[in-house]
Every structure is written in C-alpha cells, then in structure tokens.
Amino acid sequence: MTRFSQLYIEKEKPAPDSDRFRRRLEAFFNKHFDSYMADIFSKIKIDIGADIPDMSYYSDSFESFFESAEIRDVLDSITVITEAVKGEGIARRWLDFVEKIFREENLEYTVDQAGIVHFFIDKEFEENKLSTLACLNAPKYNAVRNEFEEAYKSLDLDPPDTKESIRRIFESLEIIYKLITNRSGNSRLAARSVQSDIVPVVTQMYENDETAMKAATGIVKSFGEWVTSAHWYRHGQNTEEPINPPLELTVVFISNGSSYLRWLVELDQLKAQS
C-alpha cells in the first residue's frame, strides 16, 4: 500500500541512519521473533560485542538496543538475526522487510540473501551487478567473477576504496580479454590491443549483419576509451598523498565496466559456438 509520504515528500540523498528505521525494525522484531530472542540476545553479545542491556524481559532489552545502539551494531544485528533463523519461514520475511524499510526510509544500505548489509548506490547499479554475476556462473569465468565481486566489495568499505574498485573491475575485463583472444599472461589490456584484438572478433561474429558490425565496432572503440581512462587510476600518480577517484566517477566506471564485461562474455560464448 502506497502512503502519502512516499508519494509527495521528496527524497534527499540516502541517509546513514533514521529513527523511523530503528523503530520499524524493532517493532517487526518484537512481533515475530519472541521464541528466538534468548539465542539472538546471546549471539549479538558474543558475535559482534554490542552493548545490549540485560533487562527483565528480552523485548525491553531489544527495544533499548534498536533505539540507542551504534548504527554499525544495528546493521550487524540484521545479519546475526538472519543466521539465527536460517532455514525458517520467517527468514525470508525478515530480509524482505529489512530491504523494504531501507528503501522506504531512504537509507544508504541494501541487504543480500545471506542477511549481510552493503552500501546501496541505486537500484540500477545493483541490478547491473546482479545481471553481470548471472553471466559468470561457468567455472571458466571463476577468476573473472572473483575480480568483479572484489570491485563491488571495495565499495562496501567505510570509506569506499574507490581506487581499488576501479582496479578490480579492470582486472576482470583484462582476464576476459585474454580468454577471448587466447593471449598469454604477459599481455596487457590497452586501447591499442582492444582495437587490434577485439575488432576482428566482432567482425567475425557479425559478418552477416553489416549494421550490427558497425555498431559493435563503435562499442569496441568506446571500450578502448574506457580502458585508457581507467589507466589513470591503475598506475601510481605523482603526488605525496594518494588520490582516490570520486565516488560518483567510480560508479560510472563500474557501471560501464559491468556492461562491457557482460558483452565480452557473450562474445566469448558466441566465439566458442562458431
């Protein structure tokens, strides 16, 4: 059901915390987790070392915890609670509810299927990640997938390691480039090699479709420009202090890199079938 605040109150930049988020999380927890509270109470203290008051009733202890605990402990408790009810029907409802209030209260987080909380860029960014991961399930792409996942994990750090994120997405593309072209380990991904090695592949793939061939050649050119831009952050810079890419620029790098990666995987698969 859509509410007035969702329709007419303009959302600002996602926030790191919210009283409404905390109250809603506590209300859902106290309503649905009564039989799990003793175990979760213990796990929160042991697993994350959070300060949770020991009151006469667990419900009062958790009300105080969700209201006043550090946000890091509240977010970690989401994972602890998920693990405590793993395999139970309430686990799915819990994760769906957490994601719902993240979005409705406009917080800067998202939760995955394991109950682990991550920073949230936007819906399109997350969908781009998931659709790329779906292309990398074959064992052949294990190394590509590892680098790709590390690129996103680098953005989950506090603060985000934007330079490492760009380096990792670049590595994933360099690996798929070598798989497509059968290049040796000493080969390096550069704009010149993109043109010399990838253009012949797309020419062969689309030889019966001149329009597609021209469009694909243009995409290869833009990929080469992306590679050149990434090199500015892959190599050392002539400064005393490290220079990290701005987050908004990194999001563009990762989003575009993910799209190029999906396309190159598809090219690799088409090439294997030809």
Domain count of the fold of the chain = 2
Domain that holds residue 165: 123-273
* Domain stops at, among 66, 85, 119: 119
What confidence tens digit (pLDDT) does each residue in 114-142 have?
999 988 877 778 788 888 999 999 999 99
Q: In this structure, are 232 and 186 located in the same domain?
A: yes
Q: What confidence category does residue 56 fall into, taking pLDDT thresholds of 50, 70 and 90?
A: confident
What is the C-alpha separation between 59 and 64, in angstroms, rounded?
9
What is the C-alpha separation between 261 and 169, in angstroms, rounded?
9
What confidence tens digit (pLDDT) does each residue in 234-263 have?
765 555 556 788 988 998 999 999 999 999
Report the predicted TM-score, pTM, of the whole model to 2 decimal places: 0.67
Q: In this structure, are 194 and 225 located in the same domain?
A: yes
Contact by Cβ (8 Å): 168, 147: yes
What is the C-alpha separation between 137 and 77, in angstroms, rounded?
30
**Quick check: is 64 in a domain?**
yes
| Token code pair at residue 125 | 């960014």
Q: In this structure, are 229 and 209 located in the same domain?
A: yes
* Domain stops at, among 97, 119, 141: 119
What confidence tens digit (pLDDT) does each residue in 207-241 have?
899 999 999 999 999 999 999 999 888 765 555 55
What confidence tens digit (pLDDT) does each residue in 84-115 have?
999 888 999 999 999 999 999 999 898 988 99
Q: Is the preceding peptide bond at 16 cis, omega within 30 degrees of 0?
A: no
- pLDDT computed for residue 236 by the predictor: 55
Q: What confidence category does residue 7 fall into, taking pLDDT thresholds of 50, 70 and 90?
A: low
| Token code pair at residue 26 | 């506590």
Q: Kindly tell me the burial class for residue 91, based on how many C-beta atoms sit within 10 Å of its own C-beta (0-12, 13-18, 19 or more).
A: middle
Nearest to 201 by CA among 176, 166, 230, 232: 176
Distance (Å) of CA 75 to CA 136, 158, 165: 29, 13, 23
